[in-house]
Amino acid sequence: METNAQFPLSRRDLLIASASSAAASAVPVSAATPPDAVPSPVRAPVRLSVNGSAHDLDLDTRTTLLDALREHLHLTGTKKGCDHGQCGACTVLVDGRRVVSCLSLAVMHQGAQVTTIEGLGTPAAPHPLQTAFVQHDGYQCGYCTPGQICSAVGALDELRRGAPSHVSADIVAQPMLSAEELRERMSGNLCRCGAYSNIVDAITEVAEAKA
């Protein structure tokens, strides 16, 4: 049998080695070494004040604020649209600021005051924006509407505080109340029914009433 001093394996040795490795890879899955066990989820206590009521939850730390609201507290007014931070349907107010709740973990809001559409108003005593959306036909299917209204609350608060937007001409002056400002500030909230013009009209009416 010939071998080479630089390459000491014979052709026969190589064939045997190849056949062995092929046989090893053909072992049924069930006989293969089992994968490492999936680690148990890490849980943590989370205290939230939602619409004025305190809630103590024990959550998988991967739970989003949206799922905590919908799945654990059964507040289904907040909608899940894309679940990727792209549509704004899940917008709620956290300590007065608007947040896309699908992109935010519940454990990040320990002790926070959360306001959802259910906490803004009731059918008997609606929030002025809820009334204005109805009066101006600011929705069709209504799926985006809770997020639109929570976002509008945040947008009007930003305007009141003088926070500039991307379209503000002067970033140190009080921003003007204009359709352009409102469209920019609401641009994270998509409406597949295309009710944008009526939404702007509704928000404008409430902003002018407060001015």
Give the residue with the Cβ less far from ligand FES, 129 or 195.
195
CB 103 within 8 A of CB 176: no
CB 104 within 8 A of CB 143: no
Give the residue with the Cβ less far from ligand FES, 17 or 141.
141
Least gap, CB of 194 to ligand FES (angstroms):
8
Least gap, CB of 84 to ligand FES (angstroms):
6
Give the residue with the Cβ less far from ligand FES, 134 or 193.
193
Bridge partners of 48, per DSSP, are 55
Bridge partners of 57, per DSSP, are 46
In the DSSP assignment, the letter for residue 100 is E
Least gap, CB of 55 to ligand FES (angstroms):
21
- The amino acid sitting at 50 is V
Judged by the rule CB under 6 A, the positions of this chain that interact with ligand FES are 80-83, 85-90, 100, 102, 139-145, 191-193, 195
| Per-position DSSP letters for 3-40, written without gaps between them | --SSS---HHHHHHHHHHHHHHHTS-GGGSPPPPPPPP
Least gap, CB of 77 to ligand FES (angstroms):
13
